[in-house]
Amino acid sequence: MKPAEDFIVPWVKAAEPYSDKHMDVAWENPQIVRMMSNENLLAPSENVLEAIVEAAKLGNLYPGSGPQLRQKLGEAAGLTADHVLLGTGSTDVINTVVHTFVAPGDEVVIPVPTFPMYEARVKVAGGIPVQVPMMSNFYWDMPAILKAVTPKTKLIFICSPNNPTGNQIKMEDLLKILDLGIPTFFDEAYYELENNVATRASMIKKYPHMMVNRTFSKAFGLAGFRVGYLLCDPKFATYFNRVRIPWNVSLIAIAAALAGFEDTADQERKRKNVIEGRDYIYNEINKIPGMRAFPSEGNFVLIDASILNKDSLEIRDYMSSKGIYIRPMSGHNMSRGFIRITIGTPEQNQLFIQVFKEYATKILGL
């Protein structure tokens, strides 16, 4: 008799799972400052909490597809409810899109460094991630991206503002990609936090092969409720709905997202906290000789700490020993010494700067 493991499809065996061990570490140590996962560290508003309680009273019923939420999201983007697909966070949306377009052996173009989930889900589908390194300034290498496209290319991922670099792709370069006519997943997970907010969602009307991803995890601060959504051509949506699991977003999650979307005062409070916090961290880090923080339009700041001559995992371990958990970038196709810091409360940001400056000062002998 063959071992049961032999029945597992080869590409699943070969795939490396997206590591979420850092989340377990954080939950097992509730006293730690969570500056590692681009969560919004301000708690949900009272309006969200009230909506959750009311939805819980109907917890014996199956949720629908969130028609009211989808209508509001569609209208806000200048589209309709039929353009909106809800997911259990952006990860669910990414997975649905990948499994709609990608069969074993198909290629997917992914500029790196970027969100590792793209690569992880492509591998699980049996696809081949074609990684295209960004230039030394972390801008997209357009000639290399265009050259990477082959007849086997079924999907292209572009994240803007990009995680973990925090920068945006220029419109003229995005158009070069869209003109290829290949399904393009444009990830706007952080767009509400841009200095000058500008979505690309309206481009779906002209480029129906373009999909725009959004999430309630970042600007809205509802990561634990797992709500993401995709803006796409309604014809694409009919296919995505064949792939997605029915009732994938819970009744409580839909209620939380709807209340959060309508609570504009809370949105502005969270946005202000992020912008002020990232400016503070960016400026303070760049005061340290040899250290470099990169401009960001997300709720994080990328730091080149290679001057310390330490591996990013070693830097993480030191900071965690001081009660602050940050993200090493070794898993993001980045070189030694790069770390990413999630924006916290003013007090958390100040604590990070204090501890990190003491660490750097000791190593550099300043």
Interval 124-169: pLDDT, tens? 999 999 999 999 999 999 999 999 999 999 999 999 999 999 999 9
Query: CATH 3.90.1150.10 spans which residues of the chain?
Result: 4-41+265-364
| CATH number corresponding to 46-263 | 3.40.640.10
Q: Which residue has the tokens 């028609």?
A: 67
Given pLDDT bands bounded at 50, 70 and 90, which one contains residue 336? confident
109 contacts 157 by C-beta, under 8 angstroms:
yes
pTM of the model: 0.94
pLDDT in tens, 159-214: 999 999 999 999 999 999 999 999 999 999 999 999 999 999 999 999 999 999 99
Q: Which residue has the tokens 């979307």?
A: 261
Given pLDDT bands bounded at 50, 70 and 90, which one contains residue 19? low
Alpha helices (runs of H) in the chain, residue ranges in sequence order? 10-14, 21-28, 46-56, 67-76, 89-101, 117-124, 142-148, 171-178, 234-243, 251-262, 264-285, 312-321, 346-364
Two structure tokens written together for 201: 């969602």
Of 8-12, 15-19, 116-120, 219-223, least confident by mean pLDDT is 15-19
- Which amino acid is present at 79? L
Query: CATH 3.40.640.10 spans which residues of the chain?
Result: 46-263
127 contacts 106 by C-beta, under 8 angstroms:
yes
In whole angstroms, give the CA distance from residue 288 to residue 157. 35
Pairing state of beta strands 33-35 and 324-328?
parallel
Residue 107's beta-bridge partner residues?
A: 128, 153
Q: Give residue 28's pLDDT.
A: 82
The three-point CA angle 149-151-153 to 5° equals 55
pLDDT in tens, 44-89: 999 999 999 999 999 999 998 999 999 999 999 999 999 999 999 9
In whole angstroms, give the CA distance from residue 153 to residue 353. 44
Q: Give residue 247's pLDDT.
A: 93
Residue 332 has pLDDT above 90, yes or no: no
Measured CA to CA in angstroms, residue 1 lies from 5, 7, 9, 233 at distances of 11, 12, 18, 48
- DSSP element (H, E) containing 302: strand 300-304
In whole angstroms, give the CA distance from residue 31 to residue 233. 44
| CATH number corresponding to 4-41+265-364 | 3.90.1150.10
Measured CA to CA in angstroms, residue 360 lies from 10, 174, 183, 354, 363 at distances of 45, 39, 45, 10, 5
Of 271, 280, 269, 286, nearest in space to 350 by CA = 280
